[in-house]
Chains A and B, each alone.
Chain A
């Protein structure tokens, strides 16, 4: 059973059938899925969750597929951690970390969008899937395509972190490393999608794909006991995730699952690529593209597809954005690891560091509930840490005997009472 009426242009409202369309033929506006919310309201209630598995598909009525889900049945439903120790450091009362660094199976929030995109791609009759990626998406498309038995091409910038390259190669897709930035990769894929009969998840079937990000927001609300957070800090690359989290909370409010409390959205971007935050700070929805230069490669999108919608949603919510330097990104990664035991990738470092700044500036009040969005895993982006051994430290290397241990750690052991 599907609740999808069709597709609709976000700009001019023109309607399209639920096929492979990602751009309005008339005004080039963004295409969005149009649901029959009245029908959803009649059948989808909190009672619906009683027998549902803990996966992103528990919100199936609000996802754009026709039949039963076939991909990513174990994806989603990641932990929402109450972050007491990080809250103490930041000086806030109620802080949560939504932790997609442990998403099954590829350790980033991209498992969500790909589960939806590949289920839909199969429904639409595709046997080959593809994507333009800064790494995490390529990992997710490669893994889910392997399990679904689909052919797979992933396109990445040639200078990606090796962890993200290997974590695609292992599933045996065709990995195409493009000599250029992500924006170059994206342009190439837009051109290729016009020529090859493949489902490029974030190009020609993007309207379906992007809806998967809503599940990140649905889960936060459900895990908070059907509440929306007063403040949510989200890393921004294309701007799609923050736009869809806002949509998720609006849909839950529309269905009466949560009350109408306002949610303020905040975008986190690296200083070396911050077109969305620059627009927000200028109070504008005009996005000026940039040439990215940052260690947060998963956020290095200089020409963000949903930048306009993200900036608009953030400004309307009363939120704002902040940028952080490469060194602050490493600080953010370390802080989250040392206080909450979560090893996030560089993008997560951006989010933690930006949240810290926003709290210190007073943009986010200290006595209201705050959620920090962690979307990827640090094991994939080790280079910035390996490049800074003085910041992260080195193992203490010793010979395998007691004397060597005590000699190497003498300064730490001096005050410790031993058993003998």
Chain B
């Protein structure tokens, strides 16, 4: 078991075209670090120079926006589903 991470179209080139990948980690930050190890280059797309999530990136853990949880310290566990979604949609 691991955490399923859904990869948005703009990043799928870095994940060999996969829309879903399995990752490990106890928090969103750890998950993103693990994602970077498996698919180098992903993190710099998602985070700015200071390592903070970019303004236009939304992350959801089991359908809930992490800004309503504990941000990048939100806990994740095996079987959870994490979605990375570009913020620019809707309305």
Instruction: State the A residues within 8 Å of B (CB).
Output: 11, 22-31, 132, 180, 182-184, 186-187, 189-191, 193-195, 200, 202-203, 206, 237-240, 288-289, 291, 301, 303-306, 308
Contact = CB atoms under 8 A, between A and B. Distances in A.
Nearest to B85: A190
B18 to A, nearest CB: 11
B51 interface: no
Most buried by B among A22, A25, A190: A190
Contacts of B10: 23-25, 28
Contact of A301 (B8, B46, B91): B91
A303 B87 contact: yes
B91 A190 contact: no
Most chain A CB within 10 A, of B12, B58, B88, is at: B88
Interface in B48-86: 54-58, 60, 63, 65, 67-68, 83, 85-86
B89 interface: yes
B26 interface: no
- By CB atoms of chain A within 10 A, which of B8, B12, B63 has the most? B8
Nearest to B7: A194
B67 A22 contact: no
B90 to A, nearest CB: 4
B86 A132 contact: no
Contacts of A31: 88
Given A23-B8, A191-B6, A291-B68, A206 B56 contact: no
B19 interface: yes
A180 B11 CA distance: 27
A27 B9 contact: no
A276 to B, nearest CB: 11
Contact of A28 (B19, B45, B60, B83): B45
A303 B58 contact: yes
**Which A-B residue pairs are the 7 nearest by beta carbons?**
A238-B91, A186-B90, A23-B86, A28-B56, A25-B10, A203-B89, A30-B88
B70 to A, nearest CB: 15
A191 B58 contact: no
B43 to A, nearest CB: 13
A303 B65 contact: yes
B22 to A, nearest CB: 17
Given A27-B45, A202-B91, A303-B65, 13 more contacts: A23-B86, A132-B90, A180-B63, A184-B63, A190-B8, A191-B83, A195-B19, A239-B91, A289-B65, A291-B68, A305-B89, A305-B90, A308-B55
A305 B87 contact: yes
B3 to A, nearest CB: 16
28 contacts: A22-B88, A22-B89, A23-B10, A28-B45, A28-B57, A28-B87, A29-B56, A30-B56, A132-B89, A180-B63, A182-B90, A183-B65, A186-B89, A186-B90, A187-B63, A187-B83, A191-B85, A193-B9, A194-B19, A200-B89, A202-B91, A237-B91, A238-B91, A289-B65, A291-B68, A303-B87, A304-B90, A306-B91
Contact of B89 (A29, A190, A195): A190
Nearest to A185: B90
A216 to B, nearest CB: 14
Given A184-B63, A191-B85, A195-B19, A26 B90 contact: no
Contacts of B55: 308
A226 to B, nearest CB: 29
A417 to B, nearest CB: 55
Contacts of B11: 25
B90 A189 contact: yes
A3 to B, nearest CB: 23
Given A183-B65, A187-B83, A206 B58 contact: no
Contacts of B56: 11, 23, 27-30
A182 B90 CA distance: 9
Contacts of B67: 288-289
Contacts of B9: 23, 193-194
A191 B59 CA distance: 12
Contacts of A189: 89-90
Contact of B60 (A24, A132, A187, A193): A187
Nearest to B86: A23
B73 to A, nearest CB: 17
Q: Max chain B CB contacts within 10 Å: which of A186, A193, A195, A301?
A: A186
